[in-house]
A = this chain, B = another copy of it.
Amino acid sequence: MMENLFQIFYIEIKPDFSEHFVLQTASRYHIPLIPYSGGTSLEGHFNPPSSDLHTNQSKNQFESIEEELKPGYSFTVDFSKHMNQIITLNESDMDVVVQPGISYDQLNEQLKTRCASSKLFFPVDPGPGAQIGGMVGTGCSGTNAVKYGTMRENVINLTAVLPNGQVIKTRQRAKKSAAGPDLTKLFIGSEGTLGLITEVTLKLQPILPTSVGVSHFENVESATESVLEILKNGVSLACVELLDDVMMKAINVNMVGKKWDEKPSLFLKFSGTHEQIKADKELTAKIIKSHGGSKIKLATSDSEALEIWESRKMALWSSIDYVPGSKAWTTDVCVPISNLPKLISKTKQDLIQNGLISTIVGHVGDGNFHCIILFKNHDEFLKTKESVERMVRLAQELDGTCTGEHGVGIGKKWALERELGKGTVDLLRSIKQLLDPKNILNPGKLIPDPKNDSSH
């Protein structure tokens, strides 16, 4: 009777609940566990293992398109409901200990009132709603990474429950340590395959004055070259985002009154003391001018700065609105910055040739960009899938990666070995086997199955 029945059990983890008991039980009965927090990831990270879904998906973006259910059981282990608190705020040391189910925006909201003598924030800012547990899992980043780095640079230690039920804490709270390899890093980017994360210590940063502006360019090359020169001159940019011409058109659809120039554009956020920002803006204007960029349109008030940055943050929704009735495939790749213009221009060419409408928004300071491809039917869906694969292959040929921040999940497993080589993937696989010999934790994610996930 169970043959066509697909069941997902659901566990809400609470602080007084023994995670190691969950793991021991799951291990004894061989039941897959899928850790879950914000549910904003894009490569099928929290899909049940019994669903054979070869596309990316998210509760926030689009429903699953091709889902073939197989009989089986799995537990979704949800940290978001009862494991979402700040445990300890160490204001003097600029760090905070949190549970995995707190989102970065909730954390920053709470820091506003809980910091007594200073203004501190946690800088890693992926898609809104992302929670710390998942952010550790995907090793994510966001617009602030050019200044503050990714999750890999902003987690001091973490507590993990291993598949055998053992609880380990990777480090103490000192800001740095040379006491062996930092095993914190083994769990960052492991996508829930090596352990359940139950506590995380994060670095905080002082909130500094910022200033926001936009400049338009004739092409992606001159925008990218400007950024390279700005960075080499030590300008302290908190963010520098590249939006292509189509993205600018999409944003304009929802703009009331004022419209942006519909050209490749840089959205810049300067950060530092007031004097520094003033000097940085002057230097940046000079560099941009020498590359043919327009005069920087600077926000003259906080509300205008917020409005400009909201335009950037709404990129996904603006893109979906741009083609009524469409669904969006969001993907990301990352290359050495000097290879970015080539990758973007070839990708755009490929998409146009295939009759697909897409927008591009990139963390250009990291060589990372998101491509949002809009499709309305199955034929376009298949074309999208193929274009994404070509984009990934090209990024890898340009010494880059199949994903700068979204992770591998199910969607990019096929690309991992061609990027890292067989030896590195074998090592990753053998570490997984060492920690989780029964393959209980998030099976079928990240690590390619040598039989089924061979390179395209």
Residues of A within 8 A of B (CB): 90, 92-95, 118, 120, 138-141, 145, 149-150, 152-153, 162, 166-183, 185-191, 194, 206, 208, 228, 231-236, 272-276, 278-280, 283, 334-338, 366-368, 395-396, 399-408, 412, 415-416, 419-421, 423-424, 426-428, 430-431, 434-435, 446-447
Contacts and interface: CB of A to CB of B under 8 A. Distances in A.
5 contacts: A166-B426, A172-B401, A176-B334, A275-B278, A434-B434
A272 to B, nearest CB: 7
Nearest to A207: B234
Contacts of A424: 168-170, 183
A220 to B, nearest CB: 15
B178 A400 contact: no
Given A172-B401, A366-B176, A401-B179, A423 B166 contact: yes
Query: How many copies are assembled?
Result: 2
A423 B162 CA distance: 9
A139 B336 contact: no
A176 B338 contact: no
B177 A94 contact: no
A428 B186 CA distance: 11
Given A180-B428, A272-B236, A90 B338 contact: yes
Contact of A403 (B170, B177, B434): B177
Given A92-B338, A183-B428, 13 more contacts: A120-B232, A138-B178, A175-B337, A178-B406, A179-B415, A180-B190, A180-B416, A181-B187, A181-B188, A206-B234, A236-B272, A275-B275, A431-B434
Contact of A172 (B186, B278, B399, B405): B399
B233 A206 contact: yes
A213 to B, nearest CB: 18
Most chain B beta carbons < 10 A, residue from A171, A179, A206: A179
Given A168-B427, A185-B181, A423-B168, A176 B93 contact: no
A293 to B, nearest CB: 18
Nearest to A407: B178
